[in-house]
Amino acid sequence: MSTVNTPGTALVTGASSGLGAVYADRLASRGFDLILVARRVERLGVLAKSLAEKYGVSVRAMAADLSAAADLQRVAEELARNPAITMLVNNAGASTLAPVADTPKAGVAAMDKVNVTAVAELSYAVLPRFKQRNSGTIINIGSVLSFHILPVSTIYSATKGYVMNLTRGLQQELAGTGIVVQLVLPASTATEIWELSGVPLAQLDQATIMRAEDCVDAALAGLDQGELVTLPSVEDTELWERFDAARLALFAGAMRGKPASRYGIAG
């Protein structure tokens, strides 16, 4: 894949539909060549052909199930070895919305492998090359359920909490370098993940659901503006700032060598 007159190549996971397909379209429109990763090879092939014809960029479809160790390793090797890759969009996700006791074991495993292991391993794979040239972009798609839990989202929220903390840790590690790491925290978005999770979109308050196109466009606008954390639907940015300040204050308050007085333990 040529990088001449292009910003390089973006590898997008979960690219066959939803946010991933929109990211693919928007990045192709910006001149990125693409490597599109997803399980559904037929749909992926159609999208790749369409985007290549529409935007005149190089697009390769890479069929891979990130819950399968061999497939994940293949994608990781592509990231580690391909010098054209300048952006990684960790968008692929798995979700089963149900109480823990009612969640199939396979659903738990899929969420752990796709939402946690794949995000960590793919980030790990691409970082050495990014660090070597001091440039590159990683976009990790979390969720507002990264910092909130519903009675049916315990495991999903836990995995997305991992995405949030991994991403924010990478931001601290890479501060002052030319590598950009963005955390995107969407709320309810009109994608297939709801049906696959067992919660039809029709059951949700329609006023709270954002179009996938709007979500990605807002996230990319946030990236352009230098946001480290982008909440596409949050109007008042001070909400996040206060949340983050409270987190820091709580951490500082925990840094003492004696039990809190409310426990009545003499030091």
Lowest mean pLDDT: which of 77-86, 207-216, 226-235?
207-216
DSSP state of 211: P
pLDDT of amino acid 3: 43
Q: Report which of 35, 42, 46 is spatially closest to residue 75, judged by C-alpha positions.
A: 35
Say how many residues make up the chain. 267
pLDDT of amino acid 200: 66
Q: How many C-beta atoms surround the C-beta of residue 140 within 10 A? A: 24
Catalytic site residue from 23, 55, 124, 156: 156
81 burial level (CB within 10 Å; 0-12, 13-18, 19+): exposed
Average pLDDT rounded to a whole number, residues 68-89: 98
Q: How confident is the model at residue 266 (pLDDT cuts 50, 70, 90)?
A: confident
Residue 162 known to be catalytic? no
Q: How confident is the model at residue 2 (pLDDT cuts 50, 70, 90)?
A: very low
Please write the tens of the pLDDT for every residue from 152-202. Answer: 999 999 999 999 999 999 999 999 999 999 999 999 886 666 555 556 666
Distance CA 222, CA 232 (A): 8
Q: Report which of 159, 154, 145, 143 is spatially closest to residue 229, judged by C-alpha positions.
A: 143
CB 29, CB 50: distance < 8 Å: no
Q: Report which of 122, 115, 169, 180 is spatially closest to residue 142, judged by C-alpha positions.
A: 115
Amino acid in the structure at residue 166: L
Using the structure block, give the residue that is written with the tokens 């929109």: 22
Q: Report which of 83, 32, 30, 33 is spatially closest to residue 58, judged by C-alpha positions.
A: 33
DSSP state of 59: E
Q: CATH for 9-236, among 1.10.10.10, 3.40.50.2000, 3.40.50.720, 3.30.750.24?
A: 3.40.50.720
Distance CA 65, CA 59 (A): 19
Tell me the whole-structure pTM to 2 decimals: 0.92
